[in-house]
Amino acid sequence: MSGGVQHLEVEPGEAGQRLDRWLRAKFPVLTQGRIEKMLRKGEVRIDGGRAKSNSRIEAHQMVRVPPLPTGEAPPPKHERGLTDADISFMRNLVLHQDEHMIVLNKPPGIPVQGGTGQSRHIDGMLGALAGDGERPRLVHRIDKDTSGLLVLARSGMAARALTGAFRSKAARKLYWAACIGVPKMRTGTIAYALEKLPGPMGEKMTCIDPRDLNAHPDAKRAITDYAVVEAAAKRASWLALRPVTGRTHQLRAHMSEIGCPIIGDGKYGPTREDAERRVTGAISNKLHLHARRIAVPHPDGSGRIIDLRAPLPEHMKHTWQTFDWQMALGDEEDLLPEPKA
């Protein structure tokens, strides 16, 4: 056996996942059947209580895991079998680092956390940034194909402070997106609620008119502020997006709902052929969504603000050059006014 009972803390960036998926990410060789058996016997518990495979975990909950046979227990957090290439890759992503926090510029195409068919992800390589201290912790997430700023905490205290900043909206995020078409209004607020519903391409977030919420009790409030920075005639537009709330796929679903899907969004946008017809075949079909800027109170309690910008990934740089969009325009302070209290 690999030791006794383990009690694993759910990190903030892991919140919202199904328990069975979280367990498979932590213990890749566990089968779904084995997980179901442990749950039926009450061997896996959340904060001391019984759980189901579809239970949603929350930040800082403690998950009890029974002793597992050799080969099923994960290696220590600082030893994930990282290669020299993995270590170099992670260190090259660092935009800011101090004793309390790290901020990365995540490239598109690599997930923040593991899942079905995902063996290489940011969370699995965080040991490369541990140095002589604790393994960094995720405090929020961005989609696999979204690029840009990702904040990490270097201690439990910093994780609690940063998680609180994101939850209270003290942390401010700004995204850049290239979209098909141009919104009718140059600035605006999108307030459709979001509900996960089945569709022909699998489950996806569906926009629900706030007036219809009584008929959709599972829908969650979602608000996005946007501003058009530049446009290429009526074919495409560069938008600054501020997620006032932080729902799964919020920006992608909201832009699709107002008729301006994000270029390269195969889940919420048009087909590749239709996108090429409406925009241009010279544009990459990768997702054009980038976490450009983040301003967050430093977790040391000093009151200072860490305000960072992440350069665009190469495929988005090419699109900006193709449309002759001037990047400096997107950093104007008054582009999106502060949200109303």
Which pLDDT score, from 0 to 100, does residue 337 have?
A: 61
Choice among 7-16, 276-285, 306-315 with the minimum mean pLDDT: 276-285
pLDDT at residue 304 tops 50:
yes
CATH fold of the domain at 84-171: Pseudouridine synthase (3.30.2350)
Which pLDDT score, from 0 to 100, does residue 76 have?
A: 45
Model confidence, pTM: 0.76
CATH tag, 173-331: 3.30.2350.10
pLDDT tens digits, one per residue of 72-109: 545 444 444 688 899 999 999 999 999 999 999 999 99
Q: Could you tell me whether strands 224-232 and 204-208 are parallel, antiparallel, or unpaired per DSSP bridges?
A: unpaired
Average pLDDT, the chain: 87
Amino acid symbol at 256: S
Q: Where are the beta strands (DSSP E) in 140-288?
A: 147-153, 172-180, 187-190, 193-197, 204-208, 224-232, 236-243
Mean pLDDT of 44-69: 89
Question: Alpha-carbon distance 283 to 276, whole Å?
Answer: 8
Residues designated as active site: 143
Report domain extents, the chain. Answer: 6-65, 84-171, 173-331
Same fold, 84-171 and 173-331: yes
pLDDT at residue 177 tops 60:
yes
Q: Under a CB-based contact definition with an 8 Å cutoff, are residues 102 and 94 in contact?
A: yes
Cα-Cα end-to-end distance for the chain: 55
Choice among 21-35, 172-186, 218-232 with the minimum mean pLDDT: 21-35
Cα separation values, 248 from 141, 216, 273, 333, Å:
9, 17, 26, 27
Architecture in CATH for domain 6-65:
Roll (3.10)
Read off the pLDDT band of 225 (50, 70, 90): very high
Question: What is the percent of the chain with per-residue pLDDT over 90, rounded to a whole number?
Answer: 60
Question: What is the percent of the chain with per-residue pLDDT over 70, rounded to a whole number?
Answer: 87
Q: Under a CB-based contact definition with an 8 Å cutoff, are residues 225 and 244 in contact?
A: yes
Q: Which residue has the higher pLDDT, 203 or 190?
A: 190
Which pLDDT score, from 0 to 100, does residue 67 have?
A: 85
Read off the pLDDT band of 289 (50, 70, 90): very high
Which pLDDT score, from 0 to 100, does residue 14 have?
A: 81
Q: Under a CB-based contact definition with an 8 Å cutoff, are residues 62 and 9 in contact?
A: yes
